[in-house]
């Protein structure tokens, strides 16, 4: 089974499981307060997740100089959304690669007293995934709204 077939099968399974959900909503996140002062640079400025359409849109910093930042957009697929015992969902999504992209980003957004985002970079060598990097968790301030 190739990667596209696996992705399609996973999406179908997730859509079927989400079809039984009585309510869907959205969540919007912006970087939260940094603890410790010397936090690493976070290129993600905004995350918007639409649970119903299973899409994720992110505003990101494409390039940065001393005086300016060039903003861009990144789209992602919501691959998984599971509720924890606390009632808060854990979102797992991956970036939709564009032509020329060598690395696919995988994200996990979860709440552990505050919302955290973890990002991992994966590259494919001869159709075999290889982990390139895992970034330090970043704190986000998220607001949910139910559409259901």
Residue ranges in the chain modelled with pLDDT below 70: 1-24, 34-40, 98-101, 146-148
Is 16 a domain residue?
Answer: no
Residue burial 13-39, b: 16+ Cβ < 10 Å; e: rest: ebeeeeeeeeeeeebbbebbeeeeeee
Has residue 18 been placed in a domain? no
Number of domains present in the structure of the chain: 1
Q: Is residue 17 in a domain?
A: no
Long-range contacts of 75-78 (CB under 8 A, 24+ apart): 76/105, 76/107, 77/11, 78/49, 78/50, 78/51, 78/54
Per-residue pLDDT, 41: 77
Give the Cα separation of 106 and 138 in Å (integer): 14
State the residue range of the domain holding 59: 24-146
Which CATH number covers residue 128? 2.40.128
What pLDDT, in 10s, does the model give residues 49-72? 999 999 999 999 988 888 988 899
Within a domain: residue 140?
yes
């Amino acid at each position: 089974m190739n990667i596209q077939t696996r992705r399609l099968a996973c999406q179908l399974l997730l859509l079927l499981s989400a079809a039984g959900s009585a309510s869907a909503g959205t969540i919007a996140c912006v970087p939260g307060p940094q603890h410790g002062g010397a936090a690493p640079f976070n290129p993600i400025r905004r995350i918007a997740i639409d649970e119903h359409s299973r899409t994720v849109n992110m505003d990101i910093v494409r390039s940065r100089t001393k005086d300016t930042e060039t903003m861009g957009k990144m789209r992602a697929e919501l691959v998984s959304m599971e509720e924890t015992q606390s009632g808060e969902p854990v979102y797992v999504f991956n970036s939709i690669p564009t032509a020329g992209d060598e690395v696919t980003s995988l994200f996990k957004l979860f709440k552990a007293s505050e919302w955290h985002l973890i990002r991992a970079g994966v590259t494919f060598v001869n159709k075999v995934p290889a982990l390139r990097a895992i970034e330090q968790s970043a704190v986000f301030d998220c607001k949910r709204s139910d559409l259901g």
